[in-house]
Structure 1
Amino acid sequence: MLFIKLLILLIMGICLLNKLVGLCLICLCFISCSSRITVLNKGVAGNNSRDLLKRIEKDVLQEKPDLVVMMVGSNDMVNSGKLVAYPEFKENYERLLKKMTSSGVTVVVMSPPPVDTAYILKRHDRILYDEPLDHKLDSLNRLVGQIAKANGIHFIDLYTLFKSKGSPSRAPGSLTMNQANFGKEDGIHPTKRGYMLIAETLYRYLKKNKLLRKSKKIICFGDSITYGAFMEGAGTSTGDTYPSFLKNMITTGQQY
């Protein structure tokens, strides 16, 4: 009788050990797979769609990425020294998409967040714009969504997301830099929390659409928002940039 009890305990112990070993192997596999994913920050401050076309060969195509996340348009619409009309922007955008997709790259595009127009007009001449800046960014958001849909490209609407969070505003909790939360009348670049929101939204989208399974190299391509202006680690995939937060979430499987 004692022998049977000992045998049962031994079998139960072996089963438990097997389960633990299995869980460990699953964890190790996940960590190993995640650590093989490279995230590169290819954002350049001040870039518009023309600039991205000039450097896409070197910064994107020569890197042979599996996935590219592109966000551009803020400078095209609100930077008085970089303004691009809607027809040219559409042409530039579609050329960018064609260059990437024809190379076998999976592309996800994100519309830029909204801006604080009053802050922008303190440093840019109002007479240079033919329509209100909030109208321009709203039109850009819809245009990017339409281009993505027409070309079968993944689209994330950051413009509406930031608006739904009450940003931009002049409050300290705004996800866009302002005098209260950054000591600077910026009105265009996200705060650290804003960058975290971008990364988390992107990470959820990539997981939901199973875009991480075959992605070994991810390039984040864009302007100063991708670059991570004013953040620790700006221009890299470290610190407080959205590519950094994305890389950490992919590696750990945990969101912020």
Structure 2
Amino acid sequence: MIGTLCLAAGLLAETTAMAATTNQTNKRVIQKTAQSPRVIAFGRNDEKTSPAKTVEEKQVKPLAMKIGKIRLTWPERPSAVQYQVVVLRSEQDVEANIALAKEQIFTNGVDLDLSRFGEDAGKFYWKVCALDYNGNPIGHFSKPQPILEGSELNPIAPKPTTQFEQMDYAPVYPVYSWIPTEGAKHHEVQVYRTSPDGDTLVHSLRAGTYDVYEDGGYTTPGKYYWRVRAVDAYGFAISEWSGRKYFTVTAPTPIAALGDSITHGGGAMSVPPGYLLYDWETYSSVPVKNIGFSGNTTGDMLERFERDVLPFSPRVLVIMGGVNDYRAGTNGWHIVQNLKAIKEKCDAYGIIPVFLTPTPINPTLMVKRAHIDQPPYDWKTHQDYVNDWVMQQTYHLDIASMLSDSSGWLNASYTTDGLHPDYFGKKYIGEQVGLYLKQHFPWVTNTLTKKPVPQYMGH
């Protein structure tokens, strides 16, 4: 916006996203260096990116009051790898008025300790800016708003950020995410199943700073919830438990999708699949059950077919796999044999398979940004072999071509880490799948109800 000046100093710290690697199938890892980016903007602001009011919708007039810790939240922004928050001493948006600036925030919220400012903190304002991989601002800073407006004072537990309740179906393999308690690096997650006779603990998970990937699939119908708390390095609690976040497992689900991390979700290196933003199922015009599992090869998909697919009795199964095979050196012929075996299982159980061409990769970005092993020089040959087979199937959809650049690589404008398509890529996949399913299986899709598709800032 005219009149806005952004001063950038430093580069974005190295980040890694290893969720789709074969050896690390249940987590993303964000590695940070000591050097922090700094992007401070003054002057006019973009009204559209104003942080959401998360606690109260009414205006809160800034008062002189002593604030200890405070939690700020805002809507997630497509393509954002991290965020920067700036706290101002008053509404005046000038550099001399900065009380605090915090960078390398890898989720859409942050806890800040303002106790050292005493009663002055009650009159502070704050703003936030989304940053890309290189530490460059995406759009502009939000309009400064009072620190007490829409914030949470003295939070005692992490804040869950998953959006399962907005999804058409809960994923078979949930990924739990949260805004961490200020200063916490380790967390514990508990998952419960509810019943009239009481809640039953399913299991506990040890987690890092922001999220944890579920390694046990949920195929038994019922109502579940999860909660999280911060713990120290020895597992002792340093916060209260968060509020409960519920998800429901239902069956049957007429349409489902079997795949790897491209189907599972997540993107821009730091956003896990618990968000709608980077799940292609979000953008399908018909509801699709997510049976993706990050890091899966086609062999893994074949192995878990009976365990993860059959409980939901789908009439139509969307199948996309192979990227984790050919980027690791698996021969295209072997990949096709696994896909053929999956097709045979579908035929045996009366399921209609719809095959998608597996997405391409961008080796340069994979190695440079995500520190993923260099794929073999002939990976494209094996992807082409798989795609040729897919295009010969009765029901098939080519989504790889539209995501490719002139060299056949994953277009850099569609990805941050070179492996996972981000917002525009996932949106394209979901829209094309939904359109295809409506055209070919109206006898299934006409009976289904789709939840609203979210609209994101600037898109």
The whole-number CA distance in structure 2 between the counterparts of 1:125 and 1:199 is: 28
Aligned to 1:159: 400
Residue 48 in 1 paired to residue 297 in 2? yes
| Residue of structure 2 aligned with 1:201, choices 409, 415, 432 | 432
2:372 pairs with 1:141: no
Query: Does the 8 Å contact 1:66/1:215 carry over to 2?
Result: no
Report the counterpart of residue 168 of structure 1 in structure 2.
Answer: 410
Deviations 1:199-238 (A, max 9, x none): 11111111222x14235999xxxxxxxxxxxxxxxxxxxx
Contact 1:117/1:133 (8 A) holds in 2: no
| Residue 67 (structure 1) aligned to one of 300, 306, 316 | 316
Shift of 1:102: 1.7
Q: Could you tell me which residue of structure 2 aligns to residue 27 of structure 1?
A: none
Give the partner amino acid of 1:194.
G
Take 1:50 and 1:217, find their aligned partners in 2: how far apart are those partners? 33
Runs of at least 5 residues in structure 2 that lack an aligned partner in the other structure: 1-252, 255-285, 454-458
Match of 2:207 in 1: none
What is the Cα deviation at residue 164 of structure 1? 6.9
Contact 1:110/1:157 (CA < 8 Å) preserved in 2? yes
Q: Residues 125 and 192 from structure 1, CA distance in 2 versus in 1: closer, same or farther, beyond 3 angstroms?
A: closer
CA distance in 1, matches of 2:396, 2:418: 24
Seen in structure 2, the aligned counterparts of structure 1 residues 93 and 207 have a Cα distance that, compared at 3 Å, is same
Q: Distance in 1 between matches of 2:447 and 2:308?
A: 13
- CA deviation vs aligned residue, 1:60-116 (integer Å, no higher than 9, x gap): 1232111110100000100x3xx4322322211111001012211111110122211
Write the distance in 1 (CA, Å) between the matches of 2:405 and 2:451. Answer: 25
Q: Could you say if the C-alpha distance between residues 207 and 157 of structure 1 is closer, same or farther in structure 2, counting changes exceeding 3 Å? A: same
Query: Counterparts of 1:167 and 1:249 in 2: how far apart (Å)?
Result: 32
Shift of 1:124: 4.8
| 1:23-78 deviation digits (Å, cap 9, x = unpaired) | xxxxxxxxxxxx99753110000000110111100111232111110100000100
**Gap change, CA 1:247 and 1:187, over 3 Å in 2:** farther
Instruction: Measure the CA separation in 1 of the matches of 2:423 and 2:372.
Output: 25
Match of 1:132 among 378, 382, 389: 378
Q: Secondary structure at the match of 1:108?
A: strand
Q: 1:200/1:44 Cα in 2 relative to 1: closer, same or farther (>3 Å)?
A: same
Q: For residues 452 and 409 of structure 2, what CA distance do their matches in structure 1 show?
A: 24
Name the Cα RMSD after superposition. Answer: 3.3
Question: 1:9 is matched with which residue?
Answer: none
1:112-123 map, 5 Å: 112-122=358-368, 123=371
Decide which structure has greater helix share. Answer: 1
Alpha-carbon separation, structure 1, partners of 2:446 and 2:303: 25
Q: Which one scores higher on RCO, CA 8 angstroms, separation ≥ 6?
A: 1
For the pair 1:190 / 2:421, whether they are aligned, the reply is yes
Q: State the 1:120 CA deviation.
A: 3.1
Residues 85 and 164 (structure 1 numbering): CA distance in 2 closer, same or farther, change over 3 Å? closer
What is the CA–CA distance in structure 2 between the aligned matches of 1:217 and 1:103, rounded to whole Å? 22
Number of equivalenced pairs: 168
Separation in 2 of the partners of 1:191 and 1:247? 22
Q: Which residue of 1 aligns with 2:331?
A: 85
- Whether the 8 Å contact between 1:110 and 1:158 is mirrored in structure 2 is yes
User: Structure 1 CA distance, aligned partners of 2:404 and 2:450?
Assistant: 25
Q: Does structure 1 retain, via aligned residues, the 8 Å contact 2:366–2:373?
A: no
Deviation for aligned residue 1:158:
1.1
Tell me the TM-score normalized by structure 2: 0.33
For residues 249 and 163 of structure 1, the distance between their equivalents in structure 2, rounded to whole angstroms, comes to 29
- Structure 2 residue matching 1:94: 3-state secondary structure: helix
Give unpaired runs (5+ residues) of structure 1: 1-34, 179-185, 219-245, 251-255
For the residue of structure 1 that corresponds to 2:288, the secondary structure is strand
Q: Report the Cα distance in structure 2 between the residues aligned to 1:157 and 1:110, rounded to whole angstroms.
A: 6
CA distance in 2, matches of 1:113, 1:52: 16
Letter in 1 for 2:400: Y
Distance 1:207 1:121, change over 3 A: same
Say which structure is richer in strand: 2
Matches within 5 A, 1:235-250: 247-248=450-451
